[in-house]
């Protein structure tokens, strides 16, 4: 790879993002502006920022790696995300906008009339989003190794610049940079796919990888890979934050449908490159990215530099969303009396900064991208999906049922993770959570 071209593009992107952050900050007056962009997001900004929340290390790097090892089965993770978008487009996205709340945990408090439930939901959501963000730190590290850059300072600068513009501009800056990033990603990868196809058609047309495609983790693991992202979309704070910020219910629904379609079309790129790498018998060094090693092998240094920056933009597009969502939960769901003299907006920015620094440090201790993602998805889904889904259909809700669903789902997830029984841990835990909810409802009826 041409390191000079890469670093030049890297620096240019960083400067542009910081400028966008400062521009966005001029219109921020309170937490409503900082975390919800004034609830004025239109169709295209909302569609693109929804795509950006998912177009990170999992969809690009993780899907490419899974396609390299399992062929077309690599689409399961991305397909699960797309199904989540389409489920939301069936009316759930509009209902989220209509609730007029700021966080998923606030919605649960409003519906179940329990501040304690709000705290539990917020903690679980922060842990989940933090896990996904750690996965992105891992993805960025593997990405750097894949292009031959083993310099911790460059990686640190990358993350510090992301933290900086998110702290400065909040969700407005995130949405503005997302629009730019999605455009860069789509343009670069479309051109690269065309380049690879016309220069190496024999690898793409080979069916060897397709014939060898068998689910390496078994059918139940792939079922989890499909269902967990889909179910998580209904309890995911960074997605919900976008719908809370939409200017109308109709905008939220249409943008969700559009995001699912565009993301599915884009997934052709990492899947194709993963299968191509398998067909070409490209050896991937331990700890390196299948995507970057393959691009480096099949193209030239300049193309590799541009793809590197596109991957960087993809990681940023998801990471800033997660960071903003996490800080939204902590800043709005918890009180810190010792900081009572600090304005809410200043406190929100401080939380965003501290979270970003902590996540960077934790990312050094993990390695498997998709495993981190699925575990992070599973935690809130197993505990919160049951009480959350009923919020969309009725106002006659049971606080007891909600607590039993959370406790039983979380307990089942922990026990089955430690002692697996040969079927999807996550699906069984969700089923147990619904049973817990039903028992809670029955208990309340007996008391009456």
CATH assignment at residue 185: 1.20.1730.10
Ramachandran area for residue 100 (φ above 0: left; ψ -120 to 50: alpha; else beta)? left
Query: Cα 370 to the chain's mean position, in Å?
Result: 11
Residue 79 lies in a domain: yes
Q: How far is CA 226 from CA 49, 359, 409, in A?
A: 22, 26, 19
Confidence of residue 370 (pLDDT cuts 50, 70, 90): low
Let me know the angle formed at the C-alpha of 318 by 315 and 321, rounded to the nearest 5 degrees: 140
Rg of the chain (C-alpha set):
21
Report the distance separating Cα 6 and Cα 302, nearest Å: 8
H or E element that contains 236: none
Confidence of residue 314 (pLDDT cuts 50, 70, 90): confident
Confidence of residue 215 (pLDDT cuts 50, 70, 90): low
Does residue 212 register a pLDDT over 50?
A: no
Report the distance separating Cα 215 and Cα 74, nearest Å: 9
Count: domains in the chain: 1
Does residue 207 register a pLDDT over 70?
A: no
Comparing 9-23, 61-75, 118-132, 313-327, which segment has the lowest mean pLDDT?
61-75
User: Which segment, 162-166, 291-295, 378-382, is predicted with the most confidence on average?
Assistant: 162-166
Residue 274 lies in a domain: yes
Residue 376 lies in a domain: no
Does residue 405 register a pLDDT over 90?
A: yes
pTM: 0.85
Does residue 208 register a pLDDT over 60?
A: no
Comparing 53-62, 143-152, 290-299, 364-373, which segment has the lowest mean pLDDT?
364-373
Domain residues for 89?
Answer: 3-371
Query: What residue ranges in 171-222 does DSSP mark as E strands?
Result: none
CB 158 within 8 A of CB 140: yes
Residue 387 lies in a domain: no
Residues in CB range of 257: below 8 A, 6 or more apart: 85, 86, 89
Does residue 218 register a pLDDT over 70?
A: no
Token reading at 205: 């047309």
Residue 379 lies in a domain: no
Residue 41 lies in a domain: yes
Residue 53 lies in a domain: yes
Report the distance separating Cα 333 and Cα 356, nearest Å: 18
pLDDT (tens digit per residue) in 257-270 = 999 999 999 888 88
Confidence of residue 109 (pLDDT cuts 50, 70, 90): very high
pLDDT (tens digit per residue) in 120-162 = 999 999 988 888 888 888 777 777 776 777 777 888 888 888 8
Residue 113 burial by Cβ neighbours in a 10 Å radius (0-12, 13-18, 19+): exposed
Token reading at 104: 């998923």
Residue 388 lies in a domain: no
Predicted local confidence at residue 95, as pLDDT: 94
């Amino acid at each position: 790879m041409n390191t000079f071209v890469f670093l030049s593009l890297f620096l240019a992107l960083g400067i542009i993002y910081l400028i966008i952050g400062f521009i966005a900050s001029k219109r921020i007056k309170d937490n409503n502006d900082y975390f919800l962009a004034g609830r004025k997001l239109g169709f295209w900004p909302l569609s693109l920022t929804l795509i950006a929340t998912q177009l990170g290390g999992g969809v690009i790097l993780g899907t490419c790696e899974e396609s390299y090892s399992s062929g077309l089965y690599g689409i399961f993770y991305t397909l699960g995300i797309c199904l989540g978008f389409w489920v939301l487009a069936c009316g759930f996205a509009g209902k989220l906008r209509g609730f007029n709340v700021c966080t998923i945990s606030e919605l649960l408090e409003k519906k179940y009339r329990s501040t304690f439930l709000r705290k539990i939901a917020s903690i679980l959501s922060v842990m989940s989003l933090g896990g996904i963000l750690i996965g992105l730190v891992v993805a960025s590290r593997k990405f750097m190794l894949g292009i031959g850059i083993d310099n911790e300072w460059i990686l640190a600068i990358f993350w510090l610049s992301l933290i900086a513009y998110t702290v400065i501009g909040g969700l407005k800056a995130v949405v503005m940079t997302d629009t730019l990033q999605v455009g860069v990603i789509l343009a670069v990868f479309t051109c690269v796919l065309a380049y690879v196809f016309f220069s190496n058609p024999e690898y793409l047309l080979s069916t060897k990888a397709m014939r060898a495609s068998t689910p390496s983790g078994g059918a139940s693991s792939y079922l989890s890979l499909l269902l967990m992202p889909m179910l998580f979309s209904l309890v995911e704070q960074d997605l919900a934050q976008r719908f809370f910020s939409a200017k109308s219910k109709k905008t939220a629904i249409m943008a969700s449908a559009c995001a699912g379609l565009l993301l599915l079309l884009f997934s052709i790129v990492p899947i194709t490159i993963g299968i191509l790498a398998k067909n070409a018998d490209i050896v991937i060094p331990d700890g390196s990215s299948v995507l970057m090693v393959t691009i480096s092998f099949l193209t030239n240094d300049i193309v590799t530099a541009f793809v590197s920056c596109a991957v960087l933009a993809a990681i940023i597009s998801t990471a800033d969303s997660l960071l903003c969502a996490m800080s939204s939960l902590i800043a709005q769901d918890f009180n810190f009396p010792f900081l009572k003299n600090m304005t809410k907006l200043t406190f929100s920015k401080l939380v965003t900064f501290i979270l970003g620094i902590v996540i960077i440090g934790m990312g050094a201790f993990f390695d498997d991208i998709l495993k981190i993602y699925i575990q992070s998805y599973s935690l809130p889904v197993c505990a919160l999906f049951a009480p959350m889904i009923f919020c969309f259909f009725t106002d006659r809700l049971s606080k007891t049922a909600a607590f039993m669903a959370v406790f039983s789902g979380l307990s089942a997830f922990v026990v089955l993770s430690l002692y697996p029984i040969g079927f999807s841990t996550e699906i069984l835990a969700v089923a147990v959570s619904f049973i817990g909810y039903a028992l809670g409802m029955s208990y309340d009826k007996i008391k009456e």
